[in-house]
Amino acid sequence: MLIIRSSLMSARPAETTQFHTRLLKCALEVEDARAYWKCATPGEVSSAQDAFDNYWFGAKSLARVKVLLTNFRARFDAFPDAFRVLHAWRHMDPQTRQVISHWHLQLTDPMVRAFTGDFLVQRREGLRSQVTRDLVVSWVGEQGPGRWTMSTRIQFASKLLSCAAGAGLLAGKRGPRQLQLPRISDEALTYGVYLLRGVDFDGTLLHNPYFRSLGMDGSSLEDRLKGLDALRFRRQGDLLDYGWRYPSLAAWAGDEHPAGGAA
């Protein structure tokens, strides 16, 4: 089975593997992400002052606008083909926005990827349907540098819980938080499959933290793939045939959303 890994020599976009602390200033922020890919022009760098003057993010301060732009450039500009698709996608439903924002954050933040694609999955598979902040604080301490203070670990835990809730993986607003899985439309899944097809990442299209975080892995994902119009997925023993109907994410989007327009 093909393993798709990031490579320093590859010209393709790749998942981020180095830990960073951007999450402490910007969590999932689904609606602000939507505003970004609607207002920003792919391939161009707009200034924070321009975004602030034109109310891209409503009445947020200039300082906050700068933080949002820094994070969203990392999440979306780093994947130019996908960004162009998002910029031109009209009438995206809220759950699809939620899922797509989640995948792009996972791609650019290894801690979020590990938390949602491994830790929460293990909790669900172990029939432990709850998670607490203290448990997440302890988990964060096992992931990051030993120099992180308890205050930093608590901040990370709060942001991770916020991201998971924003992606539809947690219910309620107070601990213990109940684990749950959001509904993933065929359209959202098609975007995800074609997105990963063009990205270098550690895993395979059937086994990866992106789909696994949403309850789709292995045979359960195969069943979903067989129902997608944009694929002709088949398995014969260990041989997998994806039967791509489109050469790229952009080609699929151009056919699916020919009118273009804002997200």
Which residues, 6+ apart, have CB-to-CB distance to 46 below 8 Å? Answer: 39, 40, 69
Instruction: Give the whole-angstrom CA distance, residue 73 versus residue 229.
Output: 31
Domain residue spans in the chain? 28-77, 186-256
pTM: 0.92
Provide the 8-state DSSP code for 14: B
Q: Which of 83, 21, 16, 12 is nearest to 46 (CA)?
A: 83
Contact call for residues 57 and 32 (beta carbons, < 8 A): yes
CA proximity to 109, closest of 149, 140, 87, 147 = 140
What integer pLDDT is reported at residue 150 of this predicted model? 93
Instruction: Answer yes or no: are the C-beta atoms of 228 and 190 closer than 8 Å.
Output: yes
φ and ψ of 171, to 5 deg: -110, 155
Q: Residue 146 is encoded by which pair of tokens? A: 């030993």
pLDDT, tens digit only, all 263 positions of the chain:
333 343 334 479 999 999 999 999 999 999 999 999 999 999 999 899 999 999 999 999 999 999 999 999 999 999 999 999 999 998 899 999 999 999 999 999 999 999 999 999 999 998 888 999 999 999 999 987 777 899 999 999 999 999 999 999 999 888 799 999 999 999 999 999 999 999 999 999 999 999 999 999 989 999 999 999 999 999 888 888 999 999 999 999 998 876 443 34
Quote the Cα angle for 162-206-104, to 5°.
Answer: 35
In the three-class reduction of DSSP (H, G, I as helix; E, B as strand; rest coil), residue 47 is classed as: coil
| CB burial string 68-103: b at 16+ within 10 A, e below | bbebbbbbbbbbebbbbbbbbbeebeeebbbbbbbb
